[in-house]
Structure 1
Amino acid sequence: MENRVLICTEDPELYLLLNHILSVEGFPSQLADGDADVESCLQKGGLLAVIFDGVAWHGDIVALCSLSKQAGLAVGALIAGDMRTMHLQMIKAGLDDGIMRPLDPERLLAFLRHARRASGDPSAFGEVPPSASPTHISVSSELQHVTISGRRLALTSIEGRILETLVRHRNRTCSRDDLLTAVWREPHDVGARTVDVHIARLRKALSACHDVRIKTVYGEGYALVSTRKGEELCVAARR
């Protein structure tokens, strides 16, 4: 089972926001909205990390931090400036990172990337040792097959058009508007959320290949980049 991030909050709006941020970056999440729910999820396993909503949680968050750390998980919490005493108690109970609100998404993602590296899965973060040959990408003429360093992947037509657009903008940020205009015949009828959904699906398809990843540039868009340090992508013509 793919390791999930357990989001512990009683605020549905916060959960939806965090779930969106994490899903776009390839982190599947799960909601827990009470102490018993958290304990049940910890017992079932399959988790990478636990994120507590320290501002609005009404249960025993200190005890839950301790249980999460005993389960071998990375433990983070969203906190406010007036939570000094509680923050110290959570640190003593095993809290790894207190993330101040208002939330900086990149800070949260950095915490989870570190957790994934610590879990022994470095491939998603550009830490795959470089090989002797550069990363080559070729896209089929029907836009539904892509070959990356010899590995062939099947895509939907929309995923193929998105990937082709990212390939053409390789190593540079491609805005949502760029993708809407390039991929959809009637871009004004398609919302930005639709773009994010297809990006998430494309990320999942590309997860089989460790040579490239789709990077989110917050406030700007997406970029297709090589996971090999210092290497830019080499793109072949359509086949």
Structure 2
Amino acid sequence: MNREIKIALAEDDENLRFLVAERMQSEGYKVLEASNGDEAETIILTEHPDIVLLDWMMPGKQGSEVCENVRAKGFDKLIIMMTAKGQDVDKIEAYNFGVSDYITKPFNMDVLVAMIDNKIKFSLNSEKSESYRFANMEHLPNTHLLIKDGRKVELTILENRILLYFLKNQNKVINREELMMEVWGYNADVNTRTLDMHIVRLRKKIETNADSPQYLQTVRGIGYKFVYQG
């Protein structure tokens, strides 16, 4: 890597923090550690890390509050929320604190490393924040915003992942299984109805007429296709 990449790690469980920090350092990242929400917020605003790994439940300020505060102060880098299995993921979905993504504990270290490497490859290689334009819209995946006709439209984490995958695979037929794997990951316990529901919600945000979609089209019996000739 051509420059030192800083990761802020906010986690109150000392053992887990030690393990994650150790592994990240061995991968060549510089790790800044915080054991509570207040410390985390200070580190993020003073050190401007490239990626934040933020525990959802912490003493002091909770992860969601830290996230909201630093976003309000202009921090636009990646924030990955670490949540206990099943804990509050729906809440993260329902309220947008500006989380870029989340990983569920207990997680496999290799999965975490792959996730961070992947995100760094995409977001840090482009000097400016990652952004995708189509029609009258711009998608900013790091802060999961969609700018439509100059107006901000907030996307949930899952809508954000779905749209990003489509924008990276324009005009290609994506089958449902591939999309579910991409969005929910390996141990996903989701059915296609859940996926279809998210697609419907996303269509309402990007389409002029959600009932006859121009971009996010259904391919019968297979899945979906994002149609856009730029």
**TM-score in terms of structure 2 length:** 0.46
Larger Rg: 1
**TM-score in terms of structure 1 length:** 0.45
